[in-house]
Amino acid sequence: GKCVGILALQGAFIEHIQHLEKCITENKYDLSVTTVKTPEELEICDALIIPGGESTSMSLIAQRTGMYPHLLKFVHDPSKAIWGTCAGLIYLSKELSNEKELVKPLNLLKVKVKRNAFGRQAQSFIKDCDFSSFIPDCTDFPTVFIRAPVIETILDPQEVLPLYTLDNGLIVAATQGKNILATSFHPELAENDSRFHDWFIKKFVLKQL
Ligand code: GLN
């Protein structure tokens, strides 16, 4: 079966693994999950999740460990499924509008993002959102925002769609083509709710939807 990798250089990767393993057990998917820190671990993957954390640190570690060129090649391969959450969204983007000095992004997602768009750690929040436009019947997903970015500009409106927009007009999720998903929030921090991970597996990894 296919293998889903979670980039484990930095950030909240353990939570992603727990959700994926729960989905695999419950639905008997023919899939495995692995952490990715080296080119050899990346090599065996069919999909990659880039977790939340801190995009400056993630970028610096990827460059220092020599992972950057391998990640660049992997994410730009259209046969791979890619999902970035929060810092992962920032790291996948083509352009950053602020706090960009030390970040060398993966130049994949055709958007410009604004880091820390909701303010500081203390302004973190959780909100029930209707995701039924993305995920069938998912009308009340507990959406966790922690120093989250927003998508400020769509650089290619033909390719980056659909978008998910909050009531206040801020764009916090997008897909690009059939293989790329980006969320500015943290579905991996939704306790006991693996619907987002299950949707990622079905739609982007197994392409059953
Ligand atoms: N604020 C972080 C950054 O700019 C992202 C926060 C997160 O991933 N929870 O990289």
Sign of CA dihedral 29, 189, 103, 34: negative
Residue to mutate, 91, 147, 188, 189, ligand 1, most ligand atoms under 8 Å from C-beta: 147
Q: Is the pTM here over 0.90, yes or no?
A: yes
Closest ligand 1 atom number to CA of residue 146: 9
Mean per-residue pLDDT, 61-87: 98
pLDDT value for 122: 82
Average pLDDT of the residues of the chain = 96
Instruction: Please tell me the least confidently modeled range out of 55-59, 67-71, 156-160.
Output: 156-160
Averaged over 161-166, what is the pLDDT? 94
pLDDT in tens, 28-57: 999 999 999 999 999 999 999 999 999 999
Partners of 154 in beta bridges: 111
- Percent of the chain at pLDDT > 90 equals 95
pLDDT of residue 189: 94
- Mean pLDDT on 6-29: 97
- Express each pLDDT in 2-15 by its tens digit: 999 999 999 999 99
Q: How far is the CA of 116 from the centre of ligand 1 (A)?
A: 7
Ligand 1 centroid from CA 182, angstroms: 13
pLDDT at res. 130: 96
